[in-house]
Amino acid sequence: MPDAVEADVDAAVAAARRAFDDPHGWAHWEPSRRGAAIESLANELEALGEEMARRVSMQNGMPIAIAGQLEAGFPLVVLRYYAELLKTAEFETERPHVMGGTSIVRKQPIGVVGAVAPWNYPQTLASFKHAPAMAAGCTIVLKPSPETVLDAMLFAEAVAASDVPDGVINIVPGGREAGAYLVSHRDVNKVAFTGSTAAGRQIAETCGRLLRPVTLELGGKSAAIVLDDADLDLATIGDDLFAATLINNGQTCYLGTRILAPRSRYGEVVDTFAAFAGSLKVGDALDPTTQIGPMASSIHRDRVEGYIAKGTGDGARLITGGGRPSDLDAGWFVQPTVFADVDNSSTIAQEKIFGPVLSIIQYDSVG
């Protein structure tokens, strides 16, 4: 696959700038006309849905059943939402002024948007950037993660086949250097980034120095709170529990991987999560019955395994998992893993592991 260098980023930004500055171009189209073009892009992507899901699963290990719903389906929802919104959106309004008279408020596109998308939900999270930007009349330079480029190329095919004009969406596959260059490019007017907190800090520093608007969606360590009257019947809650804690192999930023459980039912909670994790099918991401696929890369598996070792070393009690599946001799797999007796100050309670690892912490009251 191509690996962009600075000249490629320059070419992509220049194309986006030409498309934006064109006095008869995208930014000056009637909103309904932009909406129709965005709808045509959704239609092209829908026709490629099965292949899109397959490519995402091939690259980041997302189970194909999840990829079909999310990576093939959710971007269509986002694009069509903004296409529909353009039918009724008001881009100019008059408001009474406090000192008398009226003020005219215009909503205008900001210009060229530099968008950097991650590998865990590459199409969904990219759509959160390009769809609203296109609806506003902006043009976009999208840099996908180097771990998920095959799906970005399929997205490029859909763009080319749609009614979206040349230059409105430009894609530059590349690594950190290409991303950093895009963020700091003199002709970029806005940056949108989803990724790690460390990278987000660097981007925020760059945009702050340039006084450039930036939107950051970064990592965290979300808590799941089990109350003392919770229903712990896996037959009832199993599907929701999976979606809340381990969907996409735990490679999801908002998952409740830090589980706070009441001391009065702590043993029951631990047993429930152990049974839950042990019941999940680990296997080939392209198998429709797989629930937990491989990690996105060997480097990422090493990182997850390092956290598991750290949890054991810090005194947490390993309840289930903790290793690699014995029946899978190829692939970057990690068993669904549950730790009990985790201290809130420990590394695995404080840092995002981004894998199928859950930590259960006791609490005495919600007061």
Domain with 281 in it: what CATH number? Answer: 3.40.309.10
Higher pLDDT, 161 or 365: 161
Identify whether residues 175 and 239 lie together within a single domain: no
Q: Give the pLDDT score at 98.
A: 80
Q: What is the pLDDT of residue 99?
A: 81
Whether residues 26 and 174 fall in one domain? yes
**Does 200 fall in a domain?**
yes
Q: Are residues 110 and 127 in the same domain?
A: yes
Any domain includes 297: yes
- Does one domain contain both 111 and 24? yes
Number of domains the chain is built from: 2
Do 230 and 199 reside in the same domain of the chain? Answer: no
Residue 197's pLDDT band, with cuts at 50, 70 and 90, is very high
pLDDT tier at 2, thresholds 50, 70, 90 = confident
Residue 37 lies in a domain: yes
227 with 211, same domain: the answer is no
- Indicate the residue among 217, 242, 260 that finishes a domain: 217
Residues belonging to the active site: 217, 253
Residue 238 lies in a domain: yes
Q: How many CB atoms lie within 10 A of CB 31?
A: 18
Q: Is the pLDDT of residue 4 over 90?
A: yes
Dihedrals phi, psi of 90, to nearest 5 degrees: -105, 125
- Is 126 inside any structural domain? yes
212 and 228 housed in the same domain: no
**CATH code, 69:** 3.40.605.10
Same structural domain, 136 and 230: no
Q: How confident is residue 245, by pLDDT bands cut at 50, 70 and 90?
A: very high
pLDDT at 367 over 80: no
pLDDT for 97 equals: 84
pLDDT at 50 over 90: yes
Mean pLDDT value across residues 27-32: 96
Confidence (pLDDT) at 143: 98
Please report the pLDDT score of residue 220 as a whole number.
83
Could you tell me the pLDDT band of residue 43, with boundaries at 50, 70 and 90?
Answer: very high
257, amino acid identity: T
- pLDDT above 90 as % of the chain: 94
Alpha-carbon distance 119 to 286, whole Å? Answer: 17
One domain, residues 258 and 186? no
Residue in 89, 85, 83, 143 with CA at minimum distance from that of residue 113: 143
Could you tell me if 33 and 174 lie in one domain? yes
Could you list the residue range(s) of the whole structural domain that residue 172 is in?
6-217
Closest CA relative to residue 165, chosen from 269, 53, 40: 40
Indicate the residue among 217, 239, 260 that finishes a domain.
217
Q: Is residue 1, in this structure, part of any structural domain at all?
A: no
Mean residue pLDDT of the chain comes to 96
Asked whether residue 219 carries a pLDDT value surpassing 90, the answer given is: no
Same-domain status, 241 and 342:
yes
Confidence of residue 366 (pLDDT cuts 50, 70, 90): confident
**Secondary structure class of 186 (helix, strand, coil):** coil
In a domain, 18, yes or no: yes
Give the pLDDT confidence of 57-113 residue by residue, as tens digits.
999 999 999 999 999 999 999 999 999 999 998 899 999 988 888 999 999 999 999
Q: To 5 degrees, how large is the angle CA 84–CA 152–CA 146?
A: 135
Asked if pLDDT for residue 253 goes beyond 80, the answer is yes
Q: What is the mean pLDDT of residues 214-239?
A: 94
Assess whether 209 and 249 both reside in one domain: no
- Asked which of 217, 233, 249 is the last residue of a domain, the reply is 217
Examine residue 325 and state whether it is found in any structural domain, yes or no. yes
Determine the pLDDT at residue 134: 98
Please report the DSSP string for 50-85 in residue order. HHHHHHHHHHH---HHHHHHTTTTHHHHHHHHHHHH
Assess whether pLDDT exceeds 80 at residue 152: yes
